[in-house]
Structure 1
Amino acid sequence: MIDILIDDPQWQEVPLADLAERAMAETLRHLGVPPDPVSVSLLACDDARIAELNGAFRDKPGPTNVLSWPTEDLTAEAAGKSPLMPTPDFDGSMALGDVAIAYETCGREAREFGKSLDDHVTHLLVHGILHLFGYDHIRDPDATLMQGLETEILGKLGLDDPYRS
């Protein structure tokens, strides 16, 4: 389940709930995680809000496209290895964490990449959800692993490889 907070009315132009549900369902399916107990919170905001979050949590000035805050650190110790799987709560539920996505940055990037906004948002939602599972792109082997997963998941959704030139 994805709980969505629309903080910027521009997101009303995008079928965000449908895109988020599709992105999450396929990501979970690909990772072999049953969807029933999983929950994610999604903040659909503007560049000003995500810039505040980026500065507060990552000490980076300015907006970015997507940010993620996992409930637990699942990062693999060895570069290029799969992260740990999340631990269900006592009731079997899994609250993975929070994702924020910025409308203006997503729109600008979609135009720059020659993609539809829906396709780019779907990619960024898959990317953000993978971060909640402990995937990252700081170390090169981890980036290769994460990008490969994104490409496979997006392919199953009928979308092109976002990393192909």
Structure 2
Amino acid sequence: MTETPDIVDCVIEDPRWDGADLSGHALRAALAVLARLDLDPAAFQLCVMGCDDARIAELNTEFRGKPLPTNVLSWPAEELAPEEEGAAPARPEADPQAALFGPAELGDIAISFDTCAREATAGGLEFSHHVTHLLVHGILHLLGYDHVRDGDAELMEGLETEILGKMGIADPY
């Protein structure tokens, strides 16, 4: 297997994420998503920022006009979403000169420790499983998947369930 340690750039703003192994969860989630979609992990890179509720509320306000904390936000580097409801997104293209310029950027994800912990406790979920689910969810957003329209939600949630199942994590839906 190709070495992939640089696939995820993890930025830790809240030190509680260090103890929760955010970078390990992010790497495993990215590898699982890319494997399921038959994408070469050595060809792509993403950034995950582990933060708290205050920071994610700022980001949610700035980018979505919602002045509240949320669990995860994502910013795709490229618009891959399909026009037709329920259709698969376009595939991201690896840079043919990746050896010179590095892997293609998929985008950025922010995840809040506070909201993840609250949701895991309220749902009786293992914290690491919930974090992994949210990272898989965020990575799928980077790859053009969404859940606004019913057909798109069905496709995205089905993929999440399948990917998480292969990781030994129960269906979150």
Normalising by the smaller structure, the TM-score range is: over 0.9
In structure 1, distance between residues paired with 2:67 and 2:48: 21
**Per-residue deviation, residues 111-156 of structure 1 (Å, max 9, x unmatched):** 0111111000000000000000000000011001000000000000
Q: Structure 2 counterpart of 1:81, which letter? A: A
Q: Structure 2 residue aligned with 1:149, among 159, 164, 171? A: 159
In structure 1, distance between residues paired with 2:19 and 2:172: 23
Normalised by the length of structure 1, the TM-score is: 0.96
SS of the residue corresponding to residue 121 of structure 2 reads helix
In structure 2, distance between residues paired with 1:88 and 1:26: 18
- For structure 2, the 5+ residue unaligned runs are 1-6
Aligned to 1:115: 125
In structure 1, distance between residues paired with 2:56 and 2:96: 33
Q: Structure 1 residue aligned with 2:45, among 39, 43, 58? A: 39
In structure 2, distance between residues paired with 1:13 and 1:41: 19
Q: Structure 1 residue aligned with 2:58, among 52, 55, 76? A: 52
Q: Structure 1 counterpart of 2:95, which letter? A: D
Contact kept? 2:43, 2:95, Cα under 8 Å:
no
In structure 2, distance between residues paired with 1:91 and 1:67: 30
Aligned to 2:3: none
Spell out structure 1 runs of 4+ moving beyond 2 A: 87-90
In structure 1, distance between residues paired with 2:19 and 2:30: 20
- For structure 1, the 5+ residue unaligned runs are none
Question: Could you tell me the percent identity over the aligned residues?
Answer: 54
The aligned runs of 1:10-159 (5 Å cut-off) are: 10-92=16-98, 93-159=103-169
What is the alpha-carbon root mean square deviation over aligned residues? Answer: 0.9
